[in-house]
């Protein structure tokens, strides 16, 4: 399974494009559409390079979702989970309540939402941007 254009657009919307390195809220040097691997102060990238980074990073997130979710997913559910993993990382997703409730098929949609919305903090602070992103991801997960 691959991320659809709708899923890619969601990630791009929340990551935004930056041609210059910046320090993200999580304390990592970031460039392009949220790319962090190997990024150093002073780096720059074109939109073309940012797209390449995004495709590479998406592949990692996609592989994580496919490896860590054991139940069938619709395209919109897969896209939403890839966006989440792209943002929080595979290790955090592995340990997450949302992964467990999806795999165990426990709870109802509100339970899924509560587990999803646990991921709105960076360095202990609730960030409005993360709240908006989680709400948009969850809306996508539900197929809205």
What does pTM read for this prediction? 0.91
* Catalytic hit among 13, 19, 24, 111: 24
Q: For 28-41, how does the pLDDT look when each residue is reduced to its tens digit (9 = 90+)?
A: 899 999 999 999 99
3-state secondary structure at position 131: helix
Q: What is the mean pLDDT of residues 62-86?
A: 96
User: Residue 82 in contact with residue 7, Cβ under 8 Å?
Assistant: yes
* Phi, psi dihedral angles at 20 (to 5 degrees): -115, 150
- Asked if pLDDT for residue 56 goes beyond 80, the answer is yes
Average pLDDT, the chain: 92
DSSP letter assigned to residue 25: T
The position carrying tokens 């860590």 is: 68
15 as an active site residue: the answer is yes
24 as an active site residue: the answer is yes
In the Cβ-directed half-sphere of 77, how many Cα atoms lie within 13 Å? 16
User: Residue 42 in contact with residue 57, Cβ under 8 Å?
Assistant: no
The predicted structure's pLDDT at residue 27: 84
Q: What is the mean pLDDT of residues 67-94?
A: 95
Q: For 104-139, how does the pLDDT look when each residue is reduced to its tens digit (9 = 90+)?
A: 876 688 888 999 999 999 888 898 999 999 999 999
* Catalytic hit among 15, 45, 62, 137: 15
The predicted structure's pLDDT at residue 107: 65
């Amino acid at each position: 399974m691959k991320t659809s254009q709708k899923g890619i657009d969601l990630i791009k919307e929340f990551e935004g494009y930056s041609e210059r390195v910046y320090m993200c809220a999580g304390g990592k040097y970031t460039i392009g559409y949220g790319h962090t691997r190997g990024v150093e102060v002073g780096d720059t990238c074109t939109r073309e390079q940012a797209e390449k980074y995004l495709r590479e990073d998406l592949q990692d997130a996609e592989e994580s979702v496919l490896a860590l979710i054991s139940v069938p997913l619709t395209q919109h559910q897969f896209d939403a989970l890839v966006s989440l993993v792209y943002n929080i990382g595979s290790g955090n997703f592995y340990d997450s309540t949302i992964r467990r409730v999806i795999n165990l098929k426990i709870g109802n949609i509100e339970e899924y939402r509560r587990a999803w919305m646990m991921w709105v903090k960076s360095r202990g602070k609730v960030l409005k941007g993360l709240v908006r992103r989680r709400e948009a991801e969850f809306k996508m997960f539900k197929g809205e």
